[in-house]
Amino acid sequence: MTSRERLLMALRKEQPDRVPVSPDLYEMVPIRLSGWPSWEVLVYEDPPVWKVRADAHRYYGTDALIPIPAPMEEDSPPAIVYKNDEKVITRQFWEHEGKRVWADTAVVYVRCDASAHVKASTIGLPEAHDCFEVVRKNYTKTGRAYFEDARNYVGEGGVVMPMISLPCLTCWPEDTYAYYENPEAVEEKLRVQGEWVMARLEHILSWKPDAIMIGNSGIMIFNPVPVFRRLCLEWLQKITVRAKECGVLTHLHCCGPERVLVEMAANESDLDAIEPLEMPPMGDCDLKEIKGKFGKKLALKGNLHTTRVMLMGTPEEVREASKKALDDAAEGGGFILSTGDQTPRDTPDANIHAMREVVEKFGVY
């Protein structure tokens, strides 16, 4: 059975030949393995980010479940407002009534580290920039062509999932203040955003992907249950219903506390799969309990501790944690062994190899 076949069976809550193993190799580890500065991959896309992710999975021999934020032709490129040998900072801008308006956020790319979204003012950027460089990517494909390049490159080695996000309150404090001061105005703003998301979803569904990723890191931290129900649940329902109508699987990423979201998704939406089911203290998920209560409604992906086990543990400790995850959630299928969120940059290669060794020995059905 190929990795693609194995992953799709698991996402459909079926039982493949063995448990798939797909550590979250989103950004840090693939860039480290590539040897490229982070901005070459994440800003210029040379090589494209999907390529370094696929190459990392090939290096470890793991099943490649790869989310890609496929750029669209109409998306405005960011501007580089700072650059030296160790750091690049980008910022979005747009034209309004003949004036250039700059976003109040920026993205910082350090040569060998994760990217960081920050408030421009917190890193000393001015309100406006006279000197900047509009990004001209070296890899210029967008939309369907971008996705099909990735899918062809990954081939039977895995599943490529175009990404969308739920409308929600973000991590910025002013979002929260605005909601509690005027919830109706925020609800209307997110309704407009939701309609935009649904339009983009239709575009993506026309590509006929196997699955899509709904990516909302930490959404339950910034959108507690009453807020999530008012602002977000409707869009989760709409996205999952529409994808199901098109025969496309839906997979949701929410790091941090997630237990209540698992229950809502299982009982009140058509979601197919969810990750990363982080355990305390980073999350609030008990993998065995979730499998027992929701394993017939949702495929599960997770949940090895990313710092205590993956980053700082020994290969034997990784094997023990992997074996426990299999014992807790593998029975009957519908489980993908993975990390509880993104694998840290300096995770020893031996620890990732240990995950694969465990499923090859103990994950066979």
311 φψ region: left (φ > 0), alpha (ψ -120 to 50), beta (else): alpha
Neighbour-count burial for 315-349, b at 16+ CB within 10 Å, e otherwise? bebbbebbbebbebbbeebbbbbbbbbbbbbebee
CB under 8 A, 24+ apart: contacts of 127-130: 127/102, 128/100, 128/102, 129/79, 129/81, 129/91, 129/93, 129/102
Q: With beta carbons less than 8 A apart as the criterion, state whether 212 and 181 touch.
A: no
Stated pTM of the model: 0.96
- CA-CA distance, 1 to 88, in Å (whole number)? 42
| Cross-strand pairs, 215 | 253
Domain ranges of the chain: 3-74+139-362, 79-134
User: To 10 degrees, what angle do helices 233-245 and 259-268 make?
Assistant: 50
pLDDT at 70: 86
pLDDT in tens, 319-343: 999 999 999 999 999 999 999 999 9
pLDDT at 278: 98
Name the E strands within 211-308.
211-215, 249-253, 273-275, 299-304
Please provide the distance, in angstroms rounded to a whole number, between the alpha carbons at the two ends of the chain. 13
- CA-CA distance, 276 to 296, in Å (whole number)? 17
- Domain 3-74+139-362 is of which CATH architecture? Alpha-Beta Barrel (3.20)
pLDDT tens-digit profile, the chain (365 residues): 999 999 999 999 999 999 999 999 999 999 999 999 999 999 999 999 999 999 999 999 999 999 999 889 888 999 999 999 999 999 999 988 889 999 999 999 999 888 999 999 999 999 999 999 999 998 999 999 999 999 999 999 999 999 999 999 999 999 999 999 999 999 999 999 999 999 999 999 999 999 999 999 999 999 999 999 999 999 999 999 999 999 999 999 999 999 999 999 999 999 999 999 999 999 999 999 999 999 999 999 999 999 999 999 999 999 999 999 999 999 999 999 999 999 999 999 999 999 999 999 999 99
Give SS3 for 213: strand
Radius of gyration of the chain (CA): 20
CB under 8 A, 24+ apart: contacts of 119-124: 119/172, 120/91, 123/89
pLDDT at 222: 95
* 23 CB-near residues (< 8 Å, 6+ apart): 60, 62, 304, 310, 338, 339, 343, 352, 355
- CA-CA distance, 160 to 150, in Å (whole number)? 7
pLDDT in tens, 35-59: 999 999 999 999 999 999 999 999 9
Element (H, E) at 337: strand 335-339
- Tell me the one-letter amino acid at 88: V
pLDDT at 113: 85
**Main-chain phi, psi angles of 165, to 5 degrees:** -135, 150
